[in-house]
């Protein structure tokens, strides 16, 4: 069967994902010299908020019920965390691939206000990340000095390159590929951390590449499903909570603003897959973070992300063995006290 140009491009992109994923597979296991420590299972970082959106502290383990595919699970660990004392690193990502030069200039001014607030004292160690058509540039050492980071940001943006985009579908596919590869690279960098990583991606998001005119065959869906499983698992194992902050806010209400919500539900089989399942706000929501697009006040949106770190709950459970690898498990956390809601990782895929 003859494949049209967009289909060919999809296939090449997904083949690249498959090759990239296979390159990350570990080699033959090495026999340990001593018994490894018992695994706590799956660790969840849970933010509990009232209707005001302010994180709620002071809850006890008995206030929580964790459901895995609607089945209550016993907790193997539980603790209320004072975020001021917890090992947390923040990555602030400026996306110059999916935003215009004018938007990037506005982002820089807003980020400057955030970094210089409170006399430049940041609550957590943070690093600046700039995504361009040449890849990701990461600040060499994390810092809690917001004033120094602001000066560094201004220096880096002077030489900032924007992507020379191709028009139409090809340009969109190119930006999609650059963006998802950058996310994969940042997850690798964060993996060695012993605590949590908060990744705040300031961007309108990469192209959804989904709709009635976009058709995928079986091989393409399988490649894409493997990428979804790999990214979901890597985010979970690295304890990364992803936030997307849309610099356009409500100034650009349309399909882009709401269409991503059609892809938030976890994908269980390859035949359900669409490219939109890898959209930035989708991954952010599924990780337990948030997709913030109701305002272009980036400074306030960043402060909202940081407020989630003030008080949260860490819990763990032992997942049941899946009937088969890559079986999707939906997670829910219910709070016994009325008026409170919990936000955490929305699901995971069983491993071999």
For the stretch 233-260, pLDDT in tens is: 999 999 999 999 999 886 665 666 788 9
Is the pLDDT reported for residue 193 higher than 80? Answer: no
For the chain, percent of residues with pLDDT exceeding 90: 66
Distance CA 107, CA 195 (A): 28
Is the pLDDT reported for residue 1 higher than 50? Answer: no
For the chain, percent of residues with pLDDT exceeding 70: 82
pTM score, whole prediction: 0.88
How much is the pLDDT for 3?
38
- Which of 202, 67, 48, 56 is CA-nearest to residue 128? 202
Summarised one tens digit per residue, pLDDT across range 38-73 is 567 999 999 999 988 889 999 999 999 999 999 999
Summarised one tens digit per residue, pLDDT across range 108-139 is 999 999 999 999 999 999 999 999 888 899 99
Fold of the domain built from segment(s) 87-308:
Rossmann fold (3.40.50)
Domain assignments of the chain as residue spans, ordered by start: 39-83+310-352, 87-308
Overall average pLDDT of the 285-311 stretch: 95
Overall average pLDDT of the 91-98 stretch: 94
Burial 163-187 (b: 16+ CB within 10 A, else e): beeeeebeebbbbbbbbbbbbbbbb
For residue 149, the Cα-to-chain-centroid distance in whole angstroms is: 23
3 state DSSP class of 283 = helix
């Amino acid at each position: 069967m003859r494949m049209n140009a967009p289909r060919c491009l999809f296939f090449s992109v997904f083949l690249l994902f498959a090759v990239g994923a296979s390159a990350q597979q570990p080699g033959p296991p090495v026999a340990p010299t001593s018994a490894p420590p018992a695994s706590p299972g799956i660790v969840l970082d849970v933010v509990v908020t009232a209707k005001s959106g302010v994180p709620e502290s002071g809850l006890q383990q008995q206030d929580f019920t964790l459901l895995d595919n609607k089945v209550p699970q016993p907790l193997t660990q539980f603790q209320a965390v004072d975020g001021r004392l917890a090992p947390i690193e923040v990555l602030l990502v400026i996306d110059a691939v999916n935003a215009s030069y004018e938007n990037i200039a506005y982002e820089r001014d807003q980020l400057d206000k955030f970094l210089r607030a409170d006399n430049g004292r940041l609550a957590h160690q943070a690093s600046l990340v700039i995504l361009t058509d040449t890849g990701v540039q990461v600040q060499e050492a994390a810092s809690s000095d917001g004033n120094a980071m602001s000066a560094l940001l201004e220096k880096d943006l002077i030489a900032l390159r924007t992507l020379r985009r191709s028009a139409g579908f090809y340009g969109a596919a190119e930006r999609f590929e650059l963006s998802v590869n950058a996310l994969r690279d940042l997850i690798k960098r964060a993996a060695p951390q012993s605590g949590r990583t908060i990744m705040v991606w300031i961007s309108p998001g990469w192209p959804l590449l989904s709709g009635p005119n976009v058709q995928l065959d079986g091989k393409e869906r399988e490649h894409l499903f493997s990428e979804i499983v790999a990214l979901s698992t890597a985010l979970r194992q690295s304890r990364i909570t992803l936030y997307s902050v849309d610099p356009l806010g409500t100034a650009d209400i349309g399909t882009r603003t709401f269409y991503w919500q059609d892809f938030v539900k976890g994908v269980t089989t390859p035949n359900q897959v669409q490219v939109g399942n890898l959209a930035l706000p989708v991954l952010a929501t599924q990780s337990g973070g948030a997709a913030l697009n109701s305002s272009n006040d980036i400074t306030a949106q960043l402060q909202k992300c940081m407020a989630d770190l003030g008080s949260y709950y860490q819990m763990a459970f032992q997942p049941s063995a899946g009937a088969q690898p890559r079986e999707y498990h939906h997670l829910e956390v219910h709070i016994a006290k009325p008026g409170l809601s919990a936000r955490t990782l929305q699901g995971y895929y069983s491993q071999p």
